[in-house]
Each structure stands twice: as C-alpha cells, then as structure tokens.
Amino acid sequence: MSVSTKTETIPELSAEAAPEVETTLRRFLSDFTENKVAVAAFVVFIGIVFIAIFAPLISPQNPFDLAEIDILEGRLPPKSESISGTTFWLGTDDQGRDMLSAIFYGLRTSLGVGAMSGFIALCLGTCIGLTAAYFGGRIDSIVMRLVDLQLSFPAILIALVLLAILGKGVDKIIVALIAVQWAYYARTVRASALVERRKDYIEAAQCLAFSNRRILFRHLMPNVLPPLIVVGTVQVAHAILLESTLSFLGIGLPVTEPSLGLLIANGFEYMLSGKYWISFFPGVALLITVVSINLVGDQLRDVLNPRLRR
C-alpha cells in the first residue's frame, strides 16, 4: 500500500518542480535577450571562442612553425600576396608571420590564460569566501583583512611584484593572475553568502544535521551564483587585459607562447615608420574580445540584479 502511494506522490512533485525551473530559466533568457546589443556581443564572443579553440585548424598558416615562415616576406602590408599563393589578409610582421594566423593563435593564448586563471581564481575565491561567510568569527575577519589588503592595491602592481619575484613563464603568469583575482571573487561570494546564511533554508539544513560541507556546496553555493557570474565575466575581461598589458611590458608571457599583448609589443617599433598593421590588428582583436565580454557582463548584471527589477 505505502509503496503505491509513494510512487503516486513523487511524479506529482516532479511535475510541479519541473515547470518552476523552466520558467526561471526562460525568464532569464527573455530578460537577457531584451538588449539586442548584448545578444550580438554574446554571438561575437562565441565566435571568438570558436576561433580560439580551432585556431590551428582554421589559420591559413601556422605562424610558429619555422618552416612555414620566410623572413623575406616580413613587414608586408595587408592584402599582400605570398609566394606560396595565400593572401596575407592582414599583412605580416617582421618575421614574415601572417598576421591573421598570429592573431588567431594569439587569441587562443590570451583567452586560454585568461579563462584558466579566471576559473581557478573563481574556485579558490569562492571556497574562501564561502568558508569565511559560513564560519564567521575569527576566520572571517582574518580572511577579510587579507582580502581588503589585497584589494586596496591596484592589480597591476601586485602582478608586477609577483612577476618580479617569480620570473617569466606561462605558469608564473597564471599564478600572478590568479593571485590578483581571487580576492574579488572571495569578497563577492562572502557578501552574498552572508545574506543567504541568515535565510531560513540554511537553518533548516542545519537542523537536519547535514554536514557543513554539504550545506556549503549544495545549499549555499547555488544561491550565491548570480552575482558570482557577473563578477566572473568582468574579471575574465580584466584578466585578459592585464595579461596583455604585462606581455606588452615584456614581463608577461614568454616569446614562445605569444599572446596578443606580445604581438602588439612586437609591432611597436614599426609604428613610427607607418607599418601600423603589426600592432593595429592584434589590438582590434583584443578590443573586440574584451568589449563583447563586458557587454555581456553588463547585461547579465542588469538582469540578475534584483534591485533593478522593474
């Protein structure tokens, strides 16, 4: 008897639960797509990610394979023809590398580094923030002091110091970028978590004697996600910019893993002689990437912010 009633009630519950999730997601999507610009930006961003992932497949030339480049073809303006018959749509740099391909590969590096450091920083910051908010007391004050200390310094300074100590290398850059970003995530997560912590469902979970870890990750975290997503998008954009700035200054990624910043740096010396394309196009690529991320992030923030709900 009891078995049959159980199976009768469960489908009811799930039938009620399913439409709920759908409408929240649907509402989010409809709110988000209200802003056409943001949608366009999102599409552009997806395109860029696509390029980054498939760079080796779609580039006309592998600019870092020494066999494929010829220094005699260096510094050619856009739309020049190469000996092998392919067109250098965006010109070549001083080593004879096709700018278009270099940009594709550069995007890959820049996005890769930015995304990876952002993701790790997010995980790290979230854990720290959640822990601080949940346990409160001394842990909380120590953590927050640390966060405040770090946030009162500009990112570029912290990165400079770290890189001065650590030296060059892809892993060192990522470490520096993570070190710069985790504090933002930690602070955002902690703020939301503090608000959520006081809410009843957390108390209920505690009454049910769930383990702390379970409460943290399965109950608290999902509700802390929205502001986190917003901060995340902006932070990734910042990380990408920061990395390219550092690379430009010569203390970022090494020459073997060129990012857009390095490409721009390469072209710097040719600016005054009018060969603008070596710096110009990578910069444009960087710009488009960052702007699209920011636009999407802006719209996300407007949509996910309960206070701006009309």
Partner 1 sequence: MVIVAMSVIVFFGVMVIGNPVDILINPEFDQEEMERAIKALGLDLPMWQQYLLFVKNAFQGDFGKSFVFGEPALKLIIQRVPATLELAFTALILSILIGIPLGLFAGLKPDAPVSKTIMGGSILGFSLPTFWVGIMMMMIFAVMLGVLPATGRGQTVTIMGLKISFLTWDGLKHLLMPAINLALLKISLVIRLTRAGTREVVLQDYVKFARAKGLSNRRVILVHVLKNILIPVVTVIGLELGNLIAFSVVTETVFAWPGMGKLIIDSIQLLDRPIIVAYLIIIVFMFVTINLVVDILYSVLDPRVRLQDVKS
- Sites of contact with partner 1 (CB under 8 A): 149, 152-154, 156-157, 160-161, 163-167, 237, 241, 244-245, 248-251, 261, 264, 267-268, 271-272, 274, 276, 279-280, 283, 286-287, 290-291, 293-295, 298
Between residues 156 and 170, which has the closer beta carbon with respect to partner 1?
156
Least Å from the CB of residue 222 to partner 1: 28
Secondary structure in 3-state letters for 19-84: HHHHHHHHHHHHHHCCCHHHHHHHHHHHHHHHHHHCHHHHCCCCCCCHHHCCHHHCCCCCCEECCC
CB of residue 237 vs partner 1: minimum separation in angstroms? 7
Tell me the C-alpha to C-alpha distance, in Å, between residue 2 and each of 8, 11, 298.
10, 15, 52
Q: Considering the complex, what minimum distance in angstroms separates the CB of residue 289 from partner 1?
A: 9
CB closer to partner 1 out of 14 and 273: 273
Q: Are 233 and 202 in contact (CB under 8 A)?
A: no
Write down the residue that tokens 């690529």 correspond to.
285
Instruction: Between 117 and 289, name the residue whose CB sits nearer to partner 1.
Output: 289
Question: Minimum distance between the CB of residue 274 and partner 1, rounded to whole angstroms?
Answer: 6
State the DSSP code for 62. Answer: -
Judged by CB, which is closer to partner 1: 2, or 256? 256
| DSSP result, 240-294 | HHHHHHHHHHTSSS-TTS--HHHHHHHHHTTGGGT-THHHHHHHHHHHHHHHHHH
φ/ψ of residue 185, rounded to 5: -60, -45
Closer Cβ to partner 1, 221 or 264, answer by number: 264
Q: How far is the CB of 138 from partner 1 (least distance, A)?
A: 18
Residue 153 C-beta: closest distance to partner 1, Å? 7
Contact 205, 272 (CB under 8 A): no
Pick between residue 61 and residue 187 the one whose CB is nearest to partner 1. Answer: 187
Kindly state the smallest distance separating residue 244's Cβ from partner 1, in Å.
6
Nearest residue to 38 via CA among 295, 302, 300, 226: 295
d(C-alpha 209, C-alpha 30), whole Å: 39
Nearest approach in angstroms of CB 60 to partner 1 is 24
- For the chain, what is the total number of helices (H) and then of strands (E)? 12, 2
Question: Which residue lies nearer to partner 1 by CB, 144 or 166?
Answer: 166
Q: CB nearer to partner 1: give 161 or 229.
A: 161
CB 223 within 8 Å of CB 192: yes
Angle (CA) 182-48-46 rounded to 5° is: 85
